[in-house]
Amino acid sequence: MKLASFDDAGTARAGLVRGDEIFAASALVAGAPDSAQDLIAAWDRWRGPLEAALKAAKGGKALGAVHLLAPVPRPGKILAIGLNYADHIAESGQKTPEHQVWFCKQPTSANGPFDPIDLPKASTMLDYEAEMVAVIGKECRHVRAADAKNVIFGYACGNDVTARDWQFKTPQWMLGKSFDTHAPFGPWITTADEIADPHALGIRGLVNGETRQASNTRHLVFDVFAQIEEVSKVMTLEPGDLIFTGTPGGVGIAMKPPAMLKAGDLVRIEIEGLGAIENKVRPEAA
């Protein structure tokens, strides 16, 4: 199934996507949570009734007529791994990491799949990073890689938007990665059972229709399951937490000359089986 969040007269509602329609979960089955985060946490209870109701449902809202929000509007955690595709490591001029390189993006950076991304007043070096996002489905700690697939709710497209000047100010990347609007993802979460192998998906990043990034998730240095094993040694992962799993080569800062995003640019991220997101760059509002 495909779980999205949409704006219903000012209220964020969890919805299930079928073809070109979306159905509020709470309208499909009485008592189903309106919050995507709550629905993910209770998915074992609601999955069967919702799946049955969705097959028979009529009168959904047209996808093109609703405003899709970030599938999890305010994630508890947004974790991201750096230097995780060989070609991106090479273009960065660095060695393949012996250990996983982790940073966080703040929850306020979460953004809708088709909403604008801000060109910050404080930055002149805005960049894109196409990434597959894994969404945690169960509270967990000390997860073995062999068991990690059991705690993943699903997958989505993501853009780890980065203010490079802020990223490179200090050895810590958090500020450069955490500007508001700089973690668009979606357009929905495709549940893990629909993805036969998350490590065999084509991924592309385009700017104004030009392909800048083109790779496959099989080229991840540390795969998704290894990532979950590592971070769950440190912290409890909770339903709705996001993991940005790394970006392939082709980012703007590595081009010669560098090609930073500017106001009006349209960034599109596509991942096989997961759909696509598109975000237009706009100047940060006063």
Owner of token pair 């059991």: 150
| C-beta of residue 232 within 8 angstroms of C-beta of residue 142 | yes
Which fold does the domain 78-283 belong to in CATH?
Answer: Fumarylacetoacetate hydrolase; domain 2 (3.90.850)
Q: Cα–Cα distance between 263 and 89 in angstroms, integer? A: 28
Task: Tell me what the mean pLDDT of segment 228-253 comes to.
Answer: 98
Q: Cα–Cα distance between 27 and 46 in angstroms, integer? A: 13
Q: Cα–Cα distance between 214 and 162 in angstroms, integer? A: 19
For residue 84, what pLDDT is reported? 95
- What are 56-110's pLDDT values in tens digits? 999 999 999 999 999 999 999 999 999 999 889 888 888 889 999 999 999 999 9
- What are 184-214's pLDDT values in tens digits? 999 999 999 999 999 999 999 999 999 999 9
Residues of the chain with CATH 3.90.850.10: 78-283
Q: In three state form, how does the secondary structure of 168-235 look? A: CCCCCCHHHHCCCCCEEEEEEEEEHHHCCCCCCCEEEEEECCEEEEEEEHHHECCCHHHHHHHHCCCC
Entry field: residues in the chain: 286
At residue 259, what is the residue type? A
Q: Which residues, at least 6 apart from 44, have a Cβ–Cβ distance to it below 8 Å?
A: none
Task: Tell me what the mean pLDDT of segment 168-195 comes to.
Answer: 97
The token pair at 77 is: 């955690």
- What are the distances in angstroms from CA 153 to CA 92, 109, 182, 267, 281? 32, 21, 23, 26, 30
For residue 190, what pLDDT is reported? 98
CA quadruple 43, 203, 103, 145: dihedral sign: positive
| C-beta of residue 85 within 8 angstroms of C-beta of residue 213 | no
pTM for the complete prediction?
0.97
Q: Cα–Cα distance between 26 and 118 in angstroms, integer? A: 33
Q: Which residues, at least 6 apart from 172, have a Cβ–Cβ distance to it below 8 Å?
A: 103
Q: Cα–Cα distance between 271 and 273 in angstroms, integer? A: 6
